[in-house]
């Protein structure tokens, strides 16, 4: 193996120009593929094989997109002529925006008028033109306020708040055009707000998607800038040389270009998870450079020959660096084997980038420093850091003489960790990570207070028969289910064919609002004649409530962003209601909609992240076995790095931090990174043992040889991850301080607990 690394470094130094040219060409190619395009497809977090996801896809195929509506809350008096007319203009202006499928508001509603001469219902716009007088305004407002069909859907019961529902086309919803559309809507809305000194409230999934895009795009730039700044400052603090700052950052810049290029070549779009990769790669990529430069400086201090020092650098830590990058690759790339698209994409891109990062760092650092002048004594001064060496000597003393104290502290930590872990809850929401102070969250909270929910919630009923939805018994059952759904404060007023039947009965009785009720059997037959002659259907009013052959129908509503735990409770109780109302029928009834799929998807994300942690433990365990070839070496490498994970899990439980995708991602990531220090320590310790040192002497020598680089890299990683605390997303903030804290704990575990175990249980050669 030593000959391999010697031959490799000789090849690198002999072909420097060619290798640099190849890397320049490849990097240019990667840059050409790099692009930042965001995906907001919630279905990507659910496996295609999932039963509920298949039902959801079938639902969208038959009824259309359920999460395509921008809901705009408007406060104002419909009897105010100026307000009424401007609301009319606002609706008309929104309809003109390209990519808008339709707009529904109080000034653009439809009514049903009974026509006895033709024995059919006439469908007509209530407001054909803007009213020219106050009397006309009052008349139209009275008509609108006396249509129970729209109460709770478009207008609150007190008639003070109404909704403008803007539906986007499917094409616009799944493209960047949705951002342009939302910006145009807000621009029109701003003029309305200014004119009437009011506030429009924006809610709905398209709003959530647009908000996430703007925040995520800004944060990618922010984190990348902070990561570069923080690592530059730390490198300067460590090496006190611009040479050791600028060139590692150039190397990391190349790695970032490759990360974005790999993502572009694979056709992956940026998501909430993959969006952190550029900053993550900056933080994780720098330690490679630190390992190489520190070792180069150490070897140069011994031999005072630049080429010999570079050769020794590669020969002596080449295999260790391979193992370090392999464990990091496994920790970040383990999600690549899951069946969740967003996790798989993160794992593939991160894994391939970390693999590329090793070769880029090895080749470029070796070549760049071969061209640079020999290190000065000032640049080597960091090797004799008195404060760090003093701290390491104290740590060595504790390990050599106070191991009982270390084990006692570890025991107490484990007790509290398991106690805290028992308190962890698995909860996730659609707008989980959006800060409460943003306009979107304030608007959504207000709209939920007025209309209960703004997130799509659907029930699909398959009668299994053509025109089965026209049966009065079914309509009665649907109405009964809707009545039972009123007991859930989180669910808005729903819309179904039963509401349409009530509306038709009101129209049949000359529009009397007191007649808004289900028709009797005899009334149903008469009303059916008027409906059929008019070729009328519920889709004339808002959205399709039945499929094309009348076999399936939907109960459509909205739900609060209640989170996964409450959602499961509601679904379970609602399923009981469905079974009770439809007992004796053979209908297929399913609870579906984007909200349920997203919540279920987050549950899949968490379970798959836990699965990826187990895969990480297994694969890294195999690598450790291959590296050390002893059971003792395997246990010594794994146990000290499991301890920090348990501590952080315990802290999450005590702090009330829920387990969700952003926090579940921590564990496999941290384990893959923190074990790097273990590998360096044990590899150096093993070399000292092979050179004839005893166990305690080898531990002391390892502190002298490796402790400094362990502290350097851990400091970079800690401060690198802490930058994520600056995020607007709660989950990303948690990711930052939890990973940063875990890595700091892992450093002390590897400096204290690991050496103590080596002395106590390392009789067997590692």
Is the pLDDT at 2 greater than 70? The verdict is no
Sheet holding 588-592, edge to edge: 552-559, 455-462, 588-592
Burial classification of residue 251, based on how many CB atoms lie within 10 Å of its CB (0-12 exposed, 13-18 middle, 19 or more buried): buried
Let me know if residue 53 belongs to a domain: no
Range of the domain at 642: 385-422+630-766
Render the burial of 18-49: b for 16+ CB within 10 Å, e for the rest.
Answer: ebeeebeebbeebeebbeeebbbebbbbbeee
User: Is the domain of 124 the same as that of 229?
Assistant: no
Which residues make Cβ contacts (< 8 Å) with residue 525, sequence separation at least 6? Answer: none
Q: How far apart are CA 380 and CA 241, in angstroms?
A: 10
DSSP per residue, 302-326: HH--HHHHHHHHHHHHHHHHHHHHH
- Look at the chain and report how many structural domains it folds into: 3
Nearest to 60 by CA among 166, 179, 207, 170: 170
Q: 723-732: per-residue pLDDT in tens?
A: 878 777 776 7
User: Is the domain of 318 the same as that of 252?
Assistant: yes
Q: Parallel, antiparallel, or unpaired for β 161-168 and 69-75?
A: antiparallel
Let me know if residue 574 belongs to a domain: no
Is the pLDDT at 316 greater than 70? The verdict is yes
Q: 468-513: per-residue pLDDT in tens?
A: 888 899 999 999 999 999 999 999 999 999 999 999 999 999 889 9
Is the pLDDT at 653 greater than 80? The verdict is yes
Helix, strand, coil in percent for the chain, rounding step 5:
70, 10, 20
Higher local confidence (pLDDT), 459 or 618: 459
Let me know if residue 567 belongs to a domain: no
User: Is the domain of 367 the same as that of 220?
Assistant: yes
Burial classification of residue 79, based on how many CB atoms lie within 10 Å of its CB (0-12 exposed, 13-18 middle, 19 or more buried): middle
Roughly what angle, to the nearest 10 degrees, separates helices 631-655 and 403-421?
A: 50
203: phi then psi, degrees, rounded to nearest 5: -150, 175
Point out the domain boundary residue: 175, 203, 231: 203
Nearest to 208 by CA among 427, 42, 451, 93: 42
- End-to-end CA, the chain: 18
Point out the domain boundary residue: 203, 222, 237: 203
Render the burial of 486-506: b for 16+ CB within 10 Å, e for the rest.
Answer: eebebbbbbbbbbbbbbbbbb
Q: How far apart are CA 166 and CA 69, in angstroms?
A: 5
User: Is the domain of 222 the same as that of 354?
Assistant: yes
Nearest to 67 by CA among 56, 51, 54: 56
User: Is the domain of 192 the same as that of 218?
Assistant: no
Is the pLDDT at 196 greater than 50? The verdict is yes
User: Is the domain of 233 the same as that of 359?
Assistant: yes
User: Is the domain of 193 the same as that of 218?
Assistant: no
| Residue 542 confidence (pLDDT) | 43
Q: How far apart are CA 558 and CA 173, in angstroms?
A: 19
User: Is the domain of 353 the same as that of 391?
Assistant: no
pLDDT band at residue 438 using 50, 70 and 90 as cut-offs: confident
Structure tokens at 710: 């362990």
User: Is the domain of 227 the same as that of 356?
Assistant: yes
Is the pLDDT at 539 greater than 70? The verdict is no
Which residues make Cβ contacts (< 8 Å) with residue 623, sequence separation at least 6? Answer: 323, 326, 327, 330
- Torsion (CA) 300, 306, 307, 312 in degrees, nearest 10: 10
- Cα 627 to chain centroid distance, Å, stands at 35
Let me know if residue 614 belongs to a domain: no
User: Is the domain of 396 the same as that of 301?
Assistant: no
The predicted model gives 97-102 an average pLDDT of 90
Dihedral-angle region of residue 304 (phi above 0 means left; psi in -120 to 50 means alpha; beta otherwise) = left
Let me know if residue 475 belongs to a domain: no
| Residue 38 confidence (pLDDT) | 66
The predicted model gives 567-584 an average pLDDT of 92
User: Is the domain of 113 the same as that of 154?
Assistant: yes
Let me know if residue 586 belongs to a domain: no
What DSSP designation does 240 have?
-
State pTM to two decimals.
0.74
Let me know if residue 561 belongs to a domain: no
Let me know if residue 684 belongs to a domain: yes
Q: How far apart are CA 185 and CA 250, in angstroms?
A: 43
> Are 363 and 282 within 8 A, CB to CB?
no
Per cent of the chain over pLDDT 90 is 31
User: Is the domain of 262 the same as that of 407?
Assistant: no
The predicted model gives 209-230 an average pLDDT of 78
| Residue 18 confidence (pLDDT) | 95
Instruction: Look up the CATH number of the domain holding residue 638.
Output: 1.20.1640.10
Residue labelled with tokens 């055009």: 177
């Amino acid at each position: 193996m030593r000959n391999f690394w010697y031959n490799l470094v000789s090849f690198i130094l002999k072909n420097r120009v060619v290798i640099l040219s190849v890397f320049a060409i490849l990097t240019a190619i990667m840059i050409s593929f790099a692009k930042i395009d965001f995906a907001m497809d919630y279905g990507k977090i659910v496996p295609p094989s999932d039963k509920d996801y298949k039902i959801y896809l079938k639902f969208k195929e038959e009824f259309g997109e359920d999460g395509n509506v921008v809901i705009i809350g408007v406060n104002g008096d419909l009897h105010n002529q100026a307000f009424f007319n401007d609301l009319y203009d606002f609706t008309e202006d929104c309809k003109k925006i390209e990519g808008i499928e339709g707009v529904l508001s109080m000034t653009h509603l439809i009514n049903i008028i009974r026509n006895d001469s033709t024995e059919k219902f006439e469908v007509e716009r209530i407001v054909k033109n803007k009213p020219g007088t106050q009397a006309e305004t009052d008349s139209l407002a009275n008509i609108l306020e006396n249509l129970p069909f729209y109460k709770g859907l478009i207008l609150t019961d007190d008639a003070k708040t109404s909704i403008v529902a803007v539906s986007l086309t499917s094409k616009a919803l799944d493209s960047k055009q949705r951002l342009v559309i939302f910006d145009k809507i807000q621009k029109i809305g701003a003029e309305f707000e200014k004119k009437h000194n009011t506030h429009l409230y924006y809610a709905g999934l398209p709003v959530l998607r647009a908000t996430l895009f703007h925040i995520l795009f800004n944060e990618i730039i922010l984190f990348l800038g902070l990561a570069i700044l923080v690592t530059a400052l730390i490198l300067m603090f460590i090496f006190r040389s611009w040479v050791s700052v600028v060139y590692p950052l150039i190397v990391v810049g190349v790695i970032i270009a490759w990360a974005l290029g790999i993502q572009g070549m694979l056709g992956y779009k940026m998501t909430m998870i993959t969006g952190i990769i550029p900053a993550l790669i900056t933080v994780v990529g720098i330690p490679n450079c630190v390992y190489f430069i520190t070792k180069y400086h150490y070897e140069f201090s011994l031999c005072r020959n630049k080429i010999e020092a570079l050769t020794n650098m590669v020969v002596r830590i080449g295999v260790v660096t391979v193992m370090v990058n392999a464990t990091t690759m496994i920790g970040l790339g383990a999600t690549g084997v899951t069946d969740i698209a967003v996790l798989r994409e993160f794992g593939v891109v991160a894994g391939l980038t970390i693999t590329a990062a090793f070769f880029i760092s090895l080749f470029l650092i070796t070549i760049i420093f071969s061209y640079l002048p020999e290190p000065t004594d000032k640049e080597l001064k960091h090797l004799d850091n008195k404060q760090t060496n003093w701290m390491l000597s104290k740590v060595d003393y504790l390990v050599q003489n106070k191991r009982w104290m270390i084990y006692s502290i570890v025991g107490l930590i484990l007790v509290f960790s398991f106690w805290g872990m028992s308190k962890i809850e698995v909860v996730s929401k659609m707008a989980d990570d959006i800060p409460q102070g943003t306009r979107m969250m304030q608007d959504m909270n207000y709209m939920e207070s007025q209309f209960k929910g703004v997130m799509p919630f659907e029930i699909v009923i398959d009668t299994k028969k053509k025109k089965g939805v026209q049966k009065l018994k079914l309509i009665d059952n649907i109405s009964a289910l809707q009545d039972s759904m009123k007991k859930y404060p989180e669910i808005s007023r729903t819309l179904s064919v039963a509401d349409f039947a009530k509306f038709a009965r009101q129209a049949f009785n000359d529009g009397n609002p007191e007649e808004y009720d289900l028709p009797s059997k005899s009334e149903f037959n008469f009303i059916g004649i008027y409906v059929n002659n008019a070729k009328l259907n519920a889709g004339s009013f808002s959205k399709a409530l039945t499929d094309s052959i009348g076999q399936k129908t939907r109960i459509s509503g909205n739900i609060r962003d209640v989170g996964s735990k409450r959602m499961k409770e509601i679904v379970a109780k609602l399923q009981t209601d469905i079974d009770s109302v439809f007992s004796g029928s053979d209908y297929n009834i399913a609870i579906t909609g984007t909200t349920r799929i997203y919540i279920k998807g987050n549950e899949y994300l968490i379970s798959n992240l836990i699965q990826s942690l187990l895969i990480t433990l297994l694969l890294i365990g195999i690598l450790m076995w291959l590296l050390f070839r002893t059971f003792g070496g395997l246990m010594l490498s794994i146990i000290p790095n499991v301890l920090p994970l348990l501590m952080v899990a315990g802290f999450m439980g005590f702090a009330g931090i829920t387990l969700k995708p952003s926090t579940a991602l921590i564990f496999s990531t941290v384990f893959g990174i923190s074990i790097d220090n273990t590998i360096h320590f044990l590899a150096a310790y093993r070399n000292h043992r092979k050179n004839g040192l005893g166990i305690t002497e080898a531990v002391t020598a390892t502190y002298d040889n490796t402790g400094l680089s362990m502290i350097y890299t851990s400091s970079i990683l800690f401060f690198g991850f802490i930058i994520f605390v600056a995020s607007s997303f709660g989950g990303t903030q948690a990711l930052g301080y939890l990973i940063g804290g875990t890595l700091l704990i892992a450093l002390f575990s590897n400096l204290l607990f690991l050496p103590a175990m080596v002395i106590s249980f390392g009789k067997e050669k590692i």
